[in-house]
Amino acid sequence: MNTSPHETPTLRPRMTTHPTPWSVEVVPGILWATVEIHEQGTWRPLDNTALVRHGLTKERALKIALKRLAHHDTAAAWHHIPEAPGVHIFTTGEVHSAAQLLLLPKLFADWPNAGLAACCPCEELLVCAPLRVVTDLEKITILADANRQLAPSAGTPLTPEVFWCDSERWHHLPIDHHKGELHLHPPESLRLCIDRIAALGLVATAGEA
């Protein structure tokens, strides 16, 4: 179906590891968000011609796509891993599942003390874990290990990297794999969060004594 310049087009977000002139960077140097438009019964990448036709900027197009994504009933798409309490999996079986990453900061009214870790091994899958106490940092290792195992055989492979959100922006979490062990190199902002929740844990322990 054709849309006139005065109609809001049907858009959806999609994650990519390859930037384009119409993508928006999400995780610096690692992950970008792009937008697809539904026209004539099919989805295709939004380009400058479509932006001009609808009078949109790429940022405005992404906002429209995210608003549409947020209106979806996604309760049934969230799953939990019994062996890894606190690790959540989101999948609808569609390529826009990983784009749920863009909505995660708004899904936690009670924002985790040390932020949120996540990974997207493929476009059909998002795995995340809130970090509330020091022991939750183990979840980052779980995400990294699961991500490396899932990425090669994923439906539409995306990235084996792990990310961390401080409520405002996403950061890459460099992780080294050496002799079967995972070594995390957290950014300074995450180190500060770790120190803070460690201090809170000590205060709580002292209060219980």
pLDDT tens profile 13-26: 999 999 988 899 99
Q: Kindly tell me if the per-residue pLDDT of 148 is higher than 80.
A: no
Residue 135 lies in a domain: yes
| Strand partners for 128 | 88, 118
Residue 61 lies in a domain: yes
Q: Kindly tell me if the per-residue pLDDT of 35 is higher than 90.
A: yes
- Residue 34 structural domain: 11-70
In terms of domains, do 89 and 34 share one? no
How far, CA to CA in Å, does 48 sit from each of 54, 62, 80, 97?
10, 14, 40, 25
Looking at the chain, the whole-number percentage of residues with pLDDT higher than 90 is 37
Q: Kindly tell me if the per-residue pLDDT of 204 is higher than 60.
A: no
Q: Are the CB atoms for 182 and 144 separated by under 8 Å?
A: yes
**Given this model, what pLDDT does residue 57 score?**
92
In terms of domains, do 27 and 124 share one? no
Q: How many domains does the chain have?
A: 2
Residue 5 lies in a domain: no
Q: What would the pLDDT profile of 67-78 be if each residue is shown by its tens digit?
A: 988 888 788 888
Instruction: Catalogue the long-range contacts made by 51-59 (C-beta closer than 8 Å, 24 or more residues apart).
Output: 51/22, 53/5, 54/3, 54/5, 54/7, 54/8, 54/9, 55/5, 56/9, 58/22, 58/23, 58/24, 59/24
Q: What would the pLDDT profile of 181-193 be if each residue is shown by its tens digit?
A: 777 777 888 888 8
Instruction: For residue 43, name the pLDDT band (cuts at 50, 70, 90).
Output: very high
In terms of domains, do 55 and 104 share one? no
Least confident among 6-10, 41-45, 181-185: 181-185
**Given this model, what pLDDT does residue 111 score?**
87
Residue 83 lies in a domain: yes
Residue 86 lies in a domain: yes
| Phi–psi pair at 172, nearest 5 degrees | -80, 140
Instruction: For residue 147, name the pLDDT band (cuts at 50, 70, 90).
Output: confident
Distance between CA 82 and CA 102 in Å, rounded?
25
In terms of domains, do 113 and 174 share one? yes
Residue 4 lies in a domain: no
Residue 15 lies in a domain: yes
Q: What would the pLDDT profile of 84-136 be if each residue is shown by its tens digit?
A: 888 998 988 787 889 999 999 888 778 888 899 999 998 988 999 999 888 88
**Given this model, what pLDDT does residue 179 score?**
66
Instruction: For residue 1, name the pLDDT band (cuts at 50, 70, 90).
Output: very low
**Mean local confidence (pLDDT), 133-144:** 86
In terms of domains, do 97 and 179 share one? yes
How far, CA to CA in Å, does 45 sit from each of 6, 13, 16, 133, 193?
20, 10, 11, 41, 38
In terms of domains, do 107 and 200 share one? yes
**Given this model, what pLDDT does residue 137 score?**
85
| Strand partners for 33 | 15, 24
**Given this model, what pLDDT does residue 59 score?**
92
Among candidate residues 32, 52, 70, the one where a domain is terminated? 70
Among candidate residues 22, 41, 70, the one where a domain is terminated? 70
In terms of domains, do 64 and 91 share one? no
**Given this model, what pLDDT does residue 128 score?**
93
In terms of domains, do 64 and 40 share one? yes
